[in-house]
Amino acid sequence: MNAIMRTSLALLLLSAPASAAELTVLTAGDQNMVDYVNDYLGPLFEKENPGNTVRVVGTGPGDAGSQKIVERFTAQSGAGSAKWDADVAVVHEKFAGPMVEKNWLLSYRGDIASGKLVTRSNADMALGTKVSGFVMPMFNSQTALAYNPALIPTPPKSYDELVAWAKKNPKQFGYNGIKGGASGVSFVMGWIYAYGDGSADKLMNGPFEEAETKKWDKAFASLKEFNKNAVLTPGNAGTLDMLSRGEIAMGPVWVDMFYSWQANGQLPPTMKLALPAPGMPGQPMHYVIPAKSPNTKLAEKFVALATSPKVQAEGIVKRFNWYPGIDAKHVQAELDKATWDKLFTSITPDALAQYGKPFPIAPYNNAILEAYERSVAN
Amino acid sequence: MPGSPFPRDPFFPKIFLSHDLLPHDLLLGSSPVMPRYSLGLALVLPALTIIVLFFIVPLTASVIGAFRIGDGFGIGNFEKAFSLYTADIIFSLAVVALSTLLIGLFSIAIGGYLVLGENPRAVAILRWLYRWPLFIPFIVVGQILRTFLAKNGLMNNILVGAGILTPLQTTGLLDWRGIVIAFVWKQTPFVALLVSGAMASIDRGTIEAARNLGASRFRILWEIIVPQVRGTLSVGLILSFVTMMSVLSVPLMINAQSPTMITADIAFRINSYGDYGVANALGFISLILTSCVAWIYMRQAVKERM
């Protein structure tokens, strides 16, 4: 009996590889983010690192999901835990800065091969906070105006043209306000970039000055006027729903959602995208590694794989229609022409570079939202 | 119901007032008062602990949080809540009050038909059908109605297809009307279940007597049956009121306009700003509103027992 037990114990010990670990990945965002890791990235990583497993936890869509990750980290930091219960987290841009400022994160970009493939400025500055080294962008997302070319042969090239068009075609433009998802928020931010009396650059890059927040009254008054000609839609998906049912002819949407819906047949293939001047915001989602992760080396390996050109091409661009997190030129080589063209037909790389803006830095962001609540929604 | 010739509705006290027997038993019980008292306490303790731990403590923390500003205390959160969301508070109250009224009317109608209906097949079908929405979560109701009530949604498509409307006449109902429809659709079965139970157990003799004297069915329902089930009806409506005040999914799914309901604002304060202060203040305001309704009910319940 004793012998059997001892043998089996020995076997058990031998069979477990020394490096076996469970990598815990927290991700904000919709269910598709969880599916991405569960169905694609996780198995790929487990194949390359036998014996290790990946466990993914979705914390929910939108800022609320990232907020939950922040609260989890706050709790563990407050409790003084030596090892936290997460190895990798995927968070929205707005939350990366505060995490860096609180010294919760590992500076790892220099340690991984794909770190050199990122040069875009939003990987160094996240809404006014320096984050270079601490984050790797998983993807870049962009908002744009989706429109029905049957009703609108030439889409508005600027916010001015849009306002004129909406006046002539009342209730044909729809957006989801600011409480139903970020595509509406993005439209409002673009409005302030276009019509605010202050400098848009300051909103995007800081520093925060109280005086700047007083310069939007005129812009919000005109937005309130504009809203009379617009329809308010229930959520990001609500705008796409109304477009596909023909209830509106134009509205701001996330580019990746737009393409995914078209691919699923939820949106007519004829619909197109346009990015008006002076631009609309987009945002990356970032991979971060908590400094107190129990498996930092493995976590670095995971992020290195996730941001390698191959995975960025196959997973991010092809599967999800997101713009890649690392520089596009490194990804192009891994992609067939059709996929590449699809992503850049409606909005050319030049237009994207010119009119794809970041969101305002966090304090301005909040101030604009609150001013909207005060003067437009009230 | 003092002086009422009718027996008290048995359904109502059984479910909602049985706890008022407890203190009487414990305090005024027969000879060995103390042992029974401590035994009772021991039995209540686990439940009490759970209530204190999971309900009273978080509630207190939320109420305190509503008054906390930075390191001190003040009413700044409330000032902000009222300056930004007064319209939403009034909107929530109006929508929920209207829904409660409609739920009351519909559940009386359903209960009344189940008691007074003369076609047994129709009664059986209604009895089977009306409970269905009870088992459907609010979020699913929101999701169903979101596509059903849209401007070019299923309902309008049917109306246009049937030639009742032209495409240009259609309007979407995805605003306050959609919320009211969702609430009434979902909560009516709950109240109707309580009310029809109470109606079924009142003394049939009172109905028969009224019928013998030539009263119409509507008059029997309104003047004989409804007064006898008033207690159950108000309990059902108050529980519905409180439930509807706390629903987040329906306003999020259906109502894109502003104003919107307080719950959507609370979620927005937390998710977009991480601002628990104003969220707690809004929660506190919502608590006051529901407490007022509960207080009206308590007063009535106490008066009826006197």
Q: What residues 154-183 of chain A have any CB closer than 8 A to a CB of chain B?
A: 176-180
Distance, in angstroms, between A317 CA and closest chain B CA?
Answer: 28
pLDDT value for B6: 42
Of the listed ranges A234-238, B90-94, B184-188, the one predicted with least confidence: A234-238
**Probe site for chain B from A245, A266, A369, A374 (most B CB atoms < 10 A):** A245
pLDDT higher than threshold 50 for residue B255: yes
pLDDT value for B40: 86
B166-185 mean pLDDT: 88
pLDDT higher than threshold 70 for residue B71: yes
Cβ atoms of A234 and B256 within 8 Å: the answer is: yes
B238: in domain: yes
pLDDT tens digits, residue range A167-212? 999 999 999 989 878 899 999 999 999 999 988 989 988 889 999 9
B123: in domain: yes
A302-316 mean pLDDT: 94
pLDDT above 90 covers what percent of chain A?
61
Of the listed ranges B4-18, B59-73, B149-163, B213-227, the one predicted with least confidence: B4-18
B199: in domain: yes
Cβ atoms of A54 and A37 within 8 Å: the answer is: yes
Give A259's pLDDT tier (boundaries 50, 70, 90): confident
Of the listed ranges A213-217, A293-297, A351-355, the one predicted with least confidence: A351-355
Distance of alpha carbon A190 from alpha carbon B139, whole angstroms = 32
Residue A56 CA: distances (Å) to CA of A22, A284, A345, B265, B271: 10, 20, 34, 30, 22
Nearest to A177 among B152, B258, B270 (CB): B258
Distance, in angstroms, between A275 CA and closest chain B CA?
Answer: 24
Mapping DSSP to helix (H, G, I), strand (E, B) and coil, where does residue B306 land?
coil
Q: What residues 247-286 of chain A have any CB closer than 8 A to a CB of chain B?
A: 247
pLDDT above 70 covers what percent of chain B?
88
Give B33's pLDDT tier (boundaries 50, 70, 90): low
pLDDT higher than threshold 70 for residue B23: no
B18: in domain: no
Nearest to B272 among A233, A369, A378 (CB): A369
Report the run of H or E that residue A57 belongs to, with start and end: strand A53-58
- Tokens read off for B147: 């596509």
B49: in domain: no
Nearest to A378 among B87, B146, B255 (CB): B87
Q: Which single residue is written with the structure tokens 């044909």? A: A172
Mapping DSSP to helix (H, G, I), strand (E, B) and coil, where does residue B120 land?
helix
Q: Are residues A328 and A366 in the same domain?
A: no
pLDDT value for B38: 85
For B232, the domain range is: 76-305
Chain A residue with minimum CA distance to B258:
A377
Beta bridge mates, A323: A140
Question: With contacts defined as CB-CB under 8 Å, which chain A residues touch B151?
Answer: 242, 245, 247
Distance, in angstroms, between A373 CA and closest chain B CA?
Answer: 7
- Tokens read off for B63: 């109420």
Query: In total, how many domains does chain B have?
Result: 1
A301-330 mean pLDDT: 90
Q: Are residues A361 and A326 in the same domain?
A: no
pLDDT value for B15: 41
Distance, in angstroms, between A369 CA and closest chain B CA?
Answer: 9
Q: What residues 265-294 of chain B have any CB closer than 8 A to a CB of chain A?
A: 265, 267-268, 270-274
Chain A residue with minimum CA distance to B88:
A378
pLDDT value for B34: 59
Distance of alpha carbon A361 from alpha carbon A343, whole angstroms = 27
Q: Which single residue is written with the structure tokens 């390996």? A: A301
Q: Does the CB of B155 have a partner CB in chain A at under 8 Å?
A: no
Q: For A126, which DSSP code?
A: E
Q: How many Cα atoms are found within 13 Å in the side-chain-facing hemisphere of A235?
A: 18
Give B29's pLDDT tier (boundaries 50, 70, 90): very low
**Probe site for chain A from B80, B271, B275, B276 (most A CB atoms < 10 A):** B271
Distance of alpha carbon A245 from alpha carbon B117, whole angstroms = 42
Q: Does the CB of B171 have a partner CB in chain A at under 8 Å?
A: no
Q: Are residues A310 and A239 in the same domain?
A: no
Cβ atoms of A28 and A91 within 8 Å: the answer is: yes
Distance of alpha carbon B78 from alpha carbon B90, whole angstroms = 15
Q: Are residues A289 and A251 in the same domain?
A: no
pLDDT tens digits, residue range A47-92? 999 999 999 999 987 788 898 999 999 999 999 999 999 999 999 9
B124: in domain: yes
Question: With contacts defined as CB-CB under 8 Å, which chain A residues touch B273?
Answer: 366, 369-370
Q: By C-alpha distance, which of A182, A152, A154, A169 is closest to A64?
A: A182
Q: Are residues A18 and A95 in the same domain?
A: yes
Give B30's pLDDT tier (boundaries 50, 70, 90): very low
B175-186 mean pLDDT: 94
Q: Are residues A278 and A292 in the same domain?
A: no
pLDDT value for B150: 87
Cβ contact A238–B256 (<8 Å): yes
Query: In total, how many domains does chain A have?
Result: 2
pLDDT higher than threshold 70 for residue B9: no
Distance of alpha carbon A305 from alpha carbon A312, whole angstroms = 9
Q: Are residues A268 and A236 in the same domain?
A: yes
Q: Does the CB of A217 have a partner CB in chain B at under 8 Å?
A: no
Q: Are residues A149 and A246 in the same domain?
A: yes
pLDDT tens digits, residue range A82-100? 999 999 999 999 899 999 9
Q: Does the CB of A105 have a partner CB in chain B at under 8 Å?
A: no
pLDDT value for A348: 81
Mapping DSSP to helix (H, G, I), strand (E, B) and coil, where does residue B79 land?
helix
Cβ contact A238–B151 (<8 Å): no
pLDDT value for A17: 46
For A340, the domain range is: 2-140+283-345
Q: Which residues of B228-263 are buried (b: 16+ CB within 10 A; e: fewer)?
A: bbbbbbbbbbbbbbbbbbebbbbbbbbbbbbbbbbb
A278-303 mean pLDDT: 94
Q: How big is chain A by its Cα radius of gyration, in Å? A: 23
Distance, in angstroms, between A119 CA and closest chain B CA?
Answer: 29
Cβ contact B83–A374 (<8 Å): yes
- What is the domain-level CATH number for residue B95? 1.10.3720.10
| Whether the bond into B46 is cis, omega within 30 of 0 | no
Report the run of H or E that residue A273 belongs to, with start and end: strand A272-274
| Inter-chain contacts counted by CB atoms under 8 A, chains A and B | 66
Distance of alpha carbon A99 from alpha carbon A252, whole angstroms = 30
B94-122 mean pLDDT: 94
Q: How big is chain B by its Cα radius of gyration, in Å? A: 24
Question: With contacts defined as CB-CB under 8 Å, which chain B residues touch A247?
Answer: 150-152, 172
B265: in domain: yes
Cβ atoms of B40 and B19 within 8 Å: the answer is: no
Mean pLDDT of chain A: 89
pLDDT higher than threshold 90 for residue A128: no
Cβ contact B84–A177 (<8 Å): no
Q: By C-alpha distance, which of A193, A243, A123, A196 is closest to A360?
A: A193
Report angle CA A174, A177, A182 to the nearest 5 degrees.
100
Cβ contact A238–B146 (<8 Å): yes
pLDDT value for B151: 84
Q: Are residues A160 and A239 in the same domain?
A: yes
Q: How many Cα atoms are found within 13 Å in the side-chain-facing hemisphere of B11?
A: 19
Cβ contact A247–B174 (<8 Å): no
Q: By C-alpha distance, which of A111, A110, A192 is closest to A159?
A: A192
Q: Are residues A221 and A357 in the same domain?
A: yes
* Residue A7 burial (C-beta neighbours within 10 Å; 0-12, 13-18, 19+): exposed
pLDDT value for A61: 79
pLDDT above 90 covers what percent of chain B?
55
* Residue A181 burial (C-beta neighbours within 10 Å; 0-12, 13-18, 19+): buried
Cβ contact A233–B256 (<8 Å): yes
pLDDT higher than threshold 80 for residue B8: no
Q: Does the CB of B260 have a partner CB in chain A at under 8 Å?
A: yes
B46: in domain: no
pLDDT tens digits, residue range A340-364? 887 887 788 778 888 888 899 888 9
Mean pLDDT of chain B: 85
Amino acid at A50: P
Helical residues (DSSP H) of chain B, grouped into ranges: 11-16, 21-28, 33-51, 57-67, 76-116, 120-129, 138-148, 154-161, 176-200, 204-212, 217-219, 226-228, 230-245, 249-254, 262-273, 276-305
Q: Are residues A362 and A228 in the same domain?
A: yes
A292-321 mean pLDDT: 92
- What is the domain-level CATH number for residue A105? 3.40.190.10
Q: For A152, which DSSP code?
A: -
Neighbours of B13 (CB within 10 A): 16
Question: With contacts defined as CB-CB under 8 Å, which chain A residues touch B263?
Answer: none
pLDDT higher than threshold 60 for residue B206: yes
Q: Does the CB of B256 have a partner CB in chain A at under 8 Å?
A: yes
ipTM: 0.71
Report angle CA A307, A308, A309 to the nearest 5 degrees.
115
Distance of alpha carbon B270 from alpha carbon B276, whole angstroms = 6
B244-258 mean pLDDT: 88
Residue A143 CA: distances (Å) to CA of A79, B46, B268: 39, 53, 21
pLDDT higher than threshold 70 for residue A6: no
Q: Are residues A134 and A36 in the same domain?
A: yes
Distance, in angstroms, between A42 CA and closest chain B CA?
Answer: 28
Q: By C-alpha distance, which of A10, A42, A28, A37 is closest to A93?
A: A28
pLDDT value for B7: 42
Phi and psi of A114, rounded to 5°? Answer: -75, -10
Cβ atoms of A259 and A343 within 8 Å: the answer is: yes
pTM > 0.80: no
